[in-house]
Amino acid sequence: MSEKSTYPYEVEVCVLNKEGLLTPMGYQRAIITATEKELRRIGLSVPEMITRFNVTWILLSLSVEIYKPIKEGSVINISTWHTHKKGIIFRREFQITNEQNEVVAVACSFSSLIDLNKRRICMDRTVYDQLNLPEGEELFTAQSKAVINGEFEFSEEIAVRPSWIDSFNHVNNFRYGELAFDNLPEEYYLKIANISRFEIFFTGELRLGESVKISRKQIENGIEIKGEHSSDSRSAFFAKMLFNS
């Protein structure tokens, strides 16, 4: 069985809404922070992966099921373990508890590896064969790939900002979560206390000098938001948020 590690995380003011509740990108930041700590612990951090294989991790998607809102001033504990590897895709599980040891959310991420020379998904199976991690429990159903259907309504078009660019010279995945949140209709922005599920899929690179066109679609109990390259409509990200009635 996969070993479980637990990391405390103090909720930051910058990822709270005006009611003092953790936003979707707040869950994203907390989970990524725990992931980075765990990868360092097991010797698979980004610098170590670059040194050993000239590859780095790429986050394909993140899904979060939320049972209870997380409030300002909270210190949460994030337990994480490797769930499984299927081909070139890794699944990692997360369980978030509050100070009363209640489970307030569960999450999972799907990741793969990028070949830094080709800037494409690494297809060298010998690299993946060296990363046979113990497998653990899967907490809920989630997908690694987005399913995008139907008609979306245009929301906004925005140029990539220099502050969005990370050390790999592309828009950092955290910014996609912000873009999705910023394009919520007001009625959903005001319902963050009722959010029950947040999913985000990272479907294509955005770089400085490019623009992203954002559209949205109302669905039953929630909303879907997609971002596309303005120049050719290639997909950049897709997000889904569901709310309790």
pLDDT tens digits for range 137-152: 999 999 999 999 999 9
pLDDT band at 153 (very low <50, low <70, confident <90, very high): very high
pLDDT at 132 over 90: no
CATH architecture label of 5-129: Roll (3.10)
What average pLDDT does the segment 7-32 reach?
94
Cα separation, 201 vs 199, whole angstroms: 7
Cα separation, 10 vs 72, whole angstroms: 9
Q: What's the whole-model pTM score? A: 0.95
Domain boundaries, the chain: 5-129, 153-243
Strands 120-121 vs 89-97: parallel, antiparallel or unpaired? unpaired
Burial class for 66, CB neighbours closer than 10 Å (0-12, 13-18, 19+):
buried
Closest among 1, 15, 8 to 177, alpha carbons compared: 15
What average pLDDT does the segment 11-18 reach?
91
Task: Say whether domain 153-243 belongs to CATH 3.40.50.880.
Answer: no
Distances in whole angstroms, Cα of residue 32 to Cα of each of 182, 189, 217: 20, 23, 27
pLDDT at 38 over 80: yes
DSSP type of residue 58: E
Which residue(s) pair with 57 in the sheet? 113
pLDDT at 46 over 80: yes
